[in-house]
Amino acid sequence: MFNFSDQIIFLIIIATILIQGIVLILISPKNKIKFVLGGLIWILGLGFGVYEIFRNKDVSRLVIMEINSIQRLMLILSVSTSVFISIFIIFYMIRYQQKILKQIFQDRKIIWLSIIFLSTGPLFSAFLGEVPYFFYGLLLLPIIMTAVVFCPLVEKDWVLKQIKYVLIVFIFGSLISLIITPDWATIYYPSSLIPGINYRLFGLASHPNSLGPMAVTLIFINLLLPYKKKFINLLLVSGAIIILLLAQSKTAWLAFIFGFSMIILSRIFISQKRVFFLSQTILLFILASILVVLRINTEIIENFIANPTFLSLTGRTYIWDISLSVFKKNIFFGYGPTLWDLAFRTQYGLMFAGHSHNQFFQTLAESGLYGFIGLLSYLVVLIIYSFKVSKITRGVSLGLLMILLTRVITETPLRLYLLDNSFFLHLVLFLVILIFNSMLNQQKELPSQKFS
C-alpha cells in the first residue's frame, strides 16, 4: 500500500487546483458553467466511491476505522476540488453574469433560503451546543448548494445523463466487485430475508443502506430519461433491481414501493387538483412520522427495556432514546456536531452507532429545536417544489422525494457535513427540482414554447 506524507498530499492538491484553474481559463465562456457543473456532479458522486474502494469493509470497521493515506488523499481531493469548483461558480456568476444571476435568484430564492436555514442549525450548535466544536465540514453544504443554485439552466438531458452515468458506475461497479472480490464487497448477514443468500452487498458504496437507495434512484432517473433502445433500459433496470435485492436494505425496498407508487399515481391523477390531494397524503406521512418519533420514548422504549426481543427496529429505539435524552440537555441548540463521535459512542457503549438512525432524532439531538425547525422547513420546501414540477417530470420528482422521506425515518440522509453517498442522492433531488422548476418558469413566461 502506498503511503503519502502530508507534504506530498499538499503538493498533489495544489497541482490539481492549478490544473483545474488552467482548464477553466481555456474553456470558452459558453461551456464554462456546463463543464464545472458536470465536474461537480462527478466529483460528489464518485469521489466518495473511490474513497470506499480502499476501505476495509470488515464488520469491525463499519464505524471505527483507520483511514489510510490513499483514502485521506481521495477524501481531501474530493472536498478541495468540489469547494474550488463551487467557489468558482459563485464568483463567476457574481462577477460576469449578474443579470442572469438576478433572474436565477428570483426563481430560486425560496429554495436557497431554505437550504441556508437548514445549514445554520449545525453551525449554531457548533458554537452554542452542549459540546461546542467547529470544523470546516459545516461549511460544505451552504457553499456547494449555493453554487448549484447559482448555476443557470443547463440542458436538462445533459445534466440527467451525468447523474445517470455516476449511478451506473456505482451499480455495475458493485456487481463487478461482487464477482471479482465477494469477500470485500459483502458482509455476513445471518438475518437475510432472501433464501440462500446470507450476505448484504456493499459494493462501491459506504453501506448497503446507501447502495440500495442508489439503485432506486437509478431506476427513477431512467424513467425520466430512458435510452432509445429497450434492451439497454432492460439491462440497466435489471442490474439496479439485483443490487436493490442484494443490498437487503428494507428502507430502500420501502422507498422503491412508495416512490414508484407516487410516480404511477401522479401519472394517473395528472391534474393539479388531484396532485394536491397527493400532496396532502405526503404531508400526513411526515406528520405521522413525527408523531411516531414523539411517542417512541413512552411506548416502544418501555417495551424494549421490559423485553429485549421486542420488535425494536434493529435496536434503533434504544439509540433514539439516547438521542432524546441528549436533546433535553440543550433544547435550543442540541449537543453539537460531535454527536456520535468515538468519545460519545464509548460513553454509551454503542461503538457501531454512527448516527441516530432517524433524521428527526439526529437533528434534535445535534442542533436542538432551532435545527429541527430548519429541517422541517427545508422538507416542506422540497415537498412543495417536488409537487410543483411533478407534471413536467411525470412524477419522477415525487419518486425521488419519497426516497428521501422514507430514509429520514430510519437513517440520516441530511447530515450536512459529509460528502457521502447520501449527500449525492440529496443533490440529485435538488438538481431535478432546480432544473425543472426553471423550465416551468420559462414555460409560463413563454407559453408558446414547448419543452421536450
- Residue 211 has a pLDDT of 93
Residue 422 C-alpha cell reads as: 447520501
Partners of 188 in beta bridges: 199
Report whether 355 contacts 209 (CB < 8 A): no
Among candidates 248, 234, 233, 147, which has minimal Cα distance to 202?
Answer: 248
Q: In whole angstroms, what is the distance from residue 223 CA to residue 219 CA?
A: 7
450: three-class secondary structure by DSSP = coil
Among candidates 218, 256, 212, 257, which has minimal Cα distance to 235?
Answer: 218
Residue 16 C-alpha cell reads as: 490539481
DSSP secondary structure letters along 96-149: H-HHHHHHHHHHHHHHHHHHHHHHHHHHHHHHHSSS----GGGGHHHHHHHHHH
- Residue 60 has a pLDDT of 42
Quick: pLDDT tens for 321-364: 888 888 988 899 999 988 878 787 888 777 667 777 889 999 99
DSSP secondary structure letters along 39-92: HHHHHHHHHHHHHHHTS---GGGSSS----HHHHHHHHHHHHHHHHHHHHHHHH
Q: How far is CA 294 from CA 326, 361, 365, in A?
A: 15, 9, 13
Question: Burial, 402: exposed, middle or buried (Cβ in 10 Å; 0-12, 13-18, 19+)?
Answer: buried
- Residue 160 has a pLDDT of 94
Cα dihedral 140, 118, 263, 411 in deg (nearest 10): 80
Q: In whole angstroms, what is the distance from residue 10 CA to residue 7 CA?
A: 5
Q: In whole angstroms, what is the distance from residue 447 CA to residue 302 CA?
A: 59
Q: In whole angstroms, what is the distance from residue 164 CA to residue 169 CA?
A: 9
Question: If you search the block for the grid coordinates 427495556, which residue do you land on?
Answer: 305
Regions of the chain where pLDDT drops below 70? 1-13, 16-17, 20, 23-26, 28-30, 48-71, 270-316, 351-352, 417-418, 444-452
